[in-house]
Amino acid sequence: MFPYLEILRPINGLMTAIAVWVGSVVAGSALVPSSPVILAILSAFLISGAGMVVNDYYDIQIDRINRPKRPIPSGRMSLKAAKIYAAALFASGIALSYFINIYAFATAFIVSSVLYAYAARLKKMVLVGNVAISALVGTSFIYGGIAAGNYFPTLLLALLAFLANLAREIYKSIEDVLGDEKHGANTLPIKYGVLKAKMVANIIIIVTVLFSFVPYFLGAFGQVYLFFVVIADIAFVSAAVAPVRHSAKICKIAMNIALLAFLAASLNI
């Protein structure tokens, strides 16, 4: 695959873009996105890609062990090229947000700053990096609400996404123990052990499952939401009981189903 596309993790960028779109729909925007929402979708995709590039830039030594086929450790992209590429993507994403509104511009700037800080420093700190990146996942939905002119309805979705992704990040850190430990990362499984880290992630999954019923009991969404969210919760529980090497992938599937629950409920399908 073309390294400049591969390093963006376009599937992840697409999921971020979809999250922004879903956030706009939950906020009351039309199914067909308006111009501000389209700008937010493009902005989010570019900033997400920039975050991936800068993350690989700082993770080159770890990736040589954990993911040697990625563009930078494989030698298909130089560190200098990655640095320039990340800067261009960040600048483009923030520039697009300027044409939405001042709140979108501020959000894009803050998100870009946190993504850089995460790659450079935060990800090596116990739980801090996990919390930071999970907060950004939740912010994607709020960003869509900001573009739609009403972010408040997206807050429940953002909180659910934050919790689910926090568990997924911990599962991923367990998978990456070997490379992280060799290069000084101070992650939860390295500091407290794999079993305790998995226990923390499982507790967060349980909280996520319990919280997922809140929109239904508050009357925000009805039977359609409940149907999809129960399927998502079954997947979340499966992630908790599965071997840890599969937990992050299952958790991601569960998150996508939960996303469908909010979307279907917002459209009154």
Which residue type sits at 66? N
How many Å apart are CA 103 and CA 125, to the nearest integer? Answer: 29
* Least confident segment among 19-33, 112-126, 176-190, 199-213: 176-190
How many Å apart are CA 16 and CA 13, to the nearest integer? Answer: 5
* Residue 233 reports pLDDT greater than 80: yes
How many Å apart are CA 3 and CA 168, to the nearest integer? Answer: 26
What does the pLDDT read at residue 189?
A: 84
SS3 143: helix
Mean pLDDT, the chain, as a whole number? 90
SS3 105: helix
What does the pLDDT read at residue 186?
A: 72
Give percent of the chain above pLDDT 90: 63
- pLDDT tens digit sequence for 161-210: 999 999 999 998 887 776 666 666 677 888 888 889 999 999 999 999 99
Band (74; pLDDT cuts 50, 70, 90): confident
SS3 183: coil
Q: Per-residue pLDDT averaged across 35-39, rounded?
A: 97
Q: Per-residue pLDDT averaged across 85-101, rounded?
A: 97
Q: Per-residue pLDDT averaged across 133-149, rounded?
A: 95
What does the pLDDT read at residue 68?
A: 85
- Please name the residues in contact with 216: beta carbons below 8 A apart, sequence gap of 6 or more: 222, 225, 226, 229
SS3 138: helix
Q: Among 38, 210, 188, which residue's Cα sits nearest to residue 123? A: 188
Q: Among 31, 77, 26, 21, which residue's Cα sits nearest to residue 54? A: 77
How many Å apart are CA 189 and CA 173, to the nearest integer? Answer: 7
Decide which of 44 and 193 is more confident: 44
All domains of the chain in start order, with CATH: 3-189 (1.10.357.140)
How many Å apart are CA 161 and CA 139, to the nearest integer? Answer: 9
Q: What is the b/e burial string over 77-109, where b = at least 16 CB atoms within 10 angstroms of the residue's CB?
A: beeebbeebbeebbebbbebbeebbebbbebbb
What does the pLDDT read at residue 183?
A: 60
